[in-house]
Structure 1
């Protein structure tokens, strides 16, 4: 194995000479690497900028949503009597409500048994859903319903087991074992309220219950057929109310879409009318306007920071002088200070409380915004009108949304600029690679040259020493 000892024979510092020369040769590559670091930083900053623009567009789209401006909220003058909610199509208005009867479900219970383990024997239960009318009562099957037969076999006859069998049958009723100081009773209740959700139960016994007492017939409830061993605790009824003087009847205590998407939940009977009011949801509108202003300021401040030069620290923003970003900033400010003819009520953002500041951000003047929200239809036009008949006929936020679409598009300026920076980084890396390849050859050549020089200088030094020695010998012998 050859051992390099360049410079040892001649005293020439070849390593330092080659290293110094290579450092000079590599300066172009070092400059390219510094430029690559700057470009990568710009690329990262562009990624952040895209995120800010995207977040801003989300808030602009929220203000351009027709759903926002159609939202309503409802209130009840007595929330213990009725609560009220609105849908997307609910119109503003007021209603008078009087509740005369709440919807109920039929409930019946057995006599008292010693415990939930008491056996009701074996056989079958048949459950029908329908309505009980008249006196004596007659039963009418509910339209579309069918009888449900439940088989009670060996090991299934306890009060608790029968409860579980009924609940698993999907018969439209729910069974519960209720305990008190006297023992256990089985309570059966219609799953749904309303007069058509009453029930009839017939029983067929094949094995009697404990102690020879009543078996499954203890669960029979059929007044019309004369077989009723259960006690009726509550009849099935419809809810009854008056809305704006009109009689309303419902199988449920929730009156869904009773008027233009209005849903009323009845909670108790009322002795006097309850006022229900529906108004436009200006609080949600105010929230969305505020969120828009915040997102705009976040974007504007980010651009300002990345494009400015700090004279004190002598540090420039990563995008200082970037024409794409400065162009975006200019377009944003132009739209912000623009006017709209979409409505005669308002012409600019400052008139509705979105005051433009000297640094290009927005400050919300709450009193002005609240006053503008008193005319939500006109405020919507100023912000979200999509009329593009003329340069000023569209809404101002609509223009911002359109600008964001253009900026974030596949061929928009941000994507184009990002692709350009990435391309420059790639080219830069290839140039550095080519320089490094060339420098490797240069270093190899320089080392060979200086190794040869070192060898020759070592030989000359040896010859010089020999000649000096011979001359010294000649001189001493004469």
Structure 2
């Protein structure tokens, strides 16, 4: 905003808008025409510049605050996400399963009832899918017309053979494209003795045998009795800690509660040990992720509330009460212990040490040591009732939940203010246009008046003398 020059200002000081206007008028009064455009611009600016500057400053400030609030919400949302598995304690119920040899892949499912321990597993045979092959047919042999029924296990479908599809290739295509296919694939194998229709069950297991029934008018060689068995349908057979187990699939679920055993051929005929223990790797990743997210929050809140004494620039949220409240509330939770069963646990005991700058230093080795020596102590810090994760999750909801959280409410309020500022700026522009038109009319009229006065003065000087002129009347005398 322009400042008004005081009377005591030195000669190098620029004149104020009012002084500029006065000088323009005086110039017009002493014989020169008014610079109306400049005069009007100066007066309109003098009238509105202050309000314009105030609105622009407030708009800039509001946008900076909204940007800062968005940054804060982002890091708090990330901090909340990092608590997944920690806030409810579920990460501590995850188990890792391993097998001692080849051919068995063991995986444990979190919170599915797995129990730590070692179990012996002997694999007798793998599950297999039934595959049968027809007798040889000559090339492009026709198969008759009628209904062919193909079954797999308890399901079946009917294929209608006619002159368009009653070849082996046509039949295979019809089987594979059938919408009600019960789970069988068909292929034509061209052998040295002719062409064969090969049918394979999509599912392993003794119950999933393939059958073919040829109706009237269909080549009898397509009946099951005329197919040879290439691979017998069979279940996987194994023993787990001496207990016999059968499975239609080589992916054996819940023979060990909460554990899935995936069997492949190298495991057949071997006895292996499957070990199940707490998944310390998953716990370590979860705690590390929490520490990283917390440190990002500390960095962000400091950046948005900083003050630079060199440039004398303040960040948008310096002294902001809502941010200060969040910082203090989160700090109290982080520094307080958790009481479980009459014993108090802290973050430091599981490798999370609060530093002087407010950040967390994470020691993976200390966490792993705690998991071995006192696993219940680690889970107690993040227990699902009053643990640090649960407390933080509840607090962060107050700030981060969409539309009802404090951050969104605050942003919405500022956006309403920005809408009002935009309206005021529009109104101010309209006012400037009106004022410009008004001043233009007034000073153009004044300019015309001054011009008339100046012309009259010249005429009188010429007539009566003056201003260096002898005067027409004086000459006559």
TM-score category of the 2 structures, normalised to the smaller one = 0.7 to 0.9
Equivalent position of 1:195 in the other structure: 206
In the alignment, the residues of structure 2 paired with residue 120 and residue 16 of structure 1 have an alpha-carbon distance, to the nearest angstrom, of: 102
Shift of 1:354: 1.9
Equivalent position of 2:117 in the other structure: 93
In the alignment, the residues of structure 2 paired with residue 109 and residue 248 of structure 1 have an alpha-carbon distance, to the nearest angstrom, of: 31
Question: Contact (CA 8 Å) 2:88, 2:390: kept in 1 or not?
Answer: no
Pairing partner for 1:107 from 117, 131, 142:
131
Equivalent position of 1:270 in the other structure: 268
Equivalent position of 2:379 in the other structure: 380
Equivalent position of 1:347 in the other structure: 345
Equivalent position of 1:217 in the other structure: 220
Pairing partner for 1:398 from 390, 393, 404:
390
Question: Contact (CA 8 Å) 1:307, 1:316: kept in 2 or not?
Answer: yes
Shift of 1:120: 3.9
Equivalent position of 1:417 in the other structure: 410
Per-residue displacement from partner, 1:400-447 (whole Å, max 9, x unpaired)?
A: 212211223555542443344334434444555555555555555544
In the alignment, the residues of structure 2 paired with residue 415 and residue 188 of structure 1 have an alpha-carbon distance, to the nearest angstrom, of: 62
In the alignment, the residues of structure 2 paired with residue 166 and residue 18 of structure 1 have an alpha-carbon distance, to the nearest angstrom, of: 89
Shift of 1:98: 0.6
The unaligned stretches of length 5 or more in structure 1 are 1-5, 130-141, 208-215, 222-227, 387-393
163 and 310 in structure 1: CA distance in 2 versus 1, 3 angstrom threshold:
same
In the alignment, the residues of structure 1 paired with residue 58 and residue 216 of structure 2 have an alpha-carbon distance, to the nearest angstrom, of: 94
In the alignment, the residues of structure 2 paired with residue 206 and residue 442 of structure 1 have an alpha-carbon distance, to the nearest angstrom, of: 100
Equivalent position of 1:254 in the other structure: 251
SS of 1:367 mapped into structure 2: helix
SS of 1:85 mapped into structure 2: strand
408 and 201 in structure 1: CA distance in 2 versus 1, 3 angstrom threshold:
closer
87 and 121 in structure 1: CA distance in 2 versus 1, 3 angstrom threshold:
same
SS of 2:105 mapped into structure 1: strand
SS of 1:307 mapped into structure 2: coil
Equivalent position of 1:132 in the other structure: none
Equivalent position of 2:165 in the other structure: 156
In the alignment, the residues of structure 2 paired with residue 429 and residue 165 of structure 1 have an alpha-carbon distance, to the nearest angstrom, of: 68
Equivalent position of 1:58 in the other structure: 81
Question: Contact (CA 8 Å) 1:111, 1:185: kept in 2 or not?
Answer: yes
**TM-score for both structures, normalised by structure 2:** 0.79
The unaligned stretches of length 5 or more in structure 2 are 1-24
Give the paired residue count.
436
Question: Contact (CA 8 Å) 1:282, 1:376: kept in 2 or not?
Answer: no
454 and 182 in structure 1: CA distance in 2 versus 1, 3 angstrom threshold:
same
SS of 1:26 mapped into structure 2: helix
- Alpha carbon RMSD of aligned pairs, Å? 3.2
SS of 1:100 mapped into structure 2: strand
Shift of 1:347: 2.4
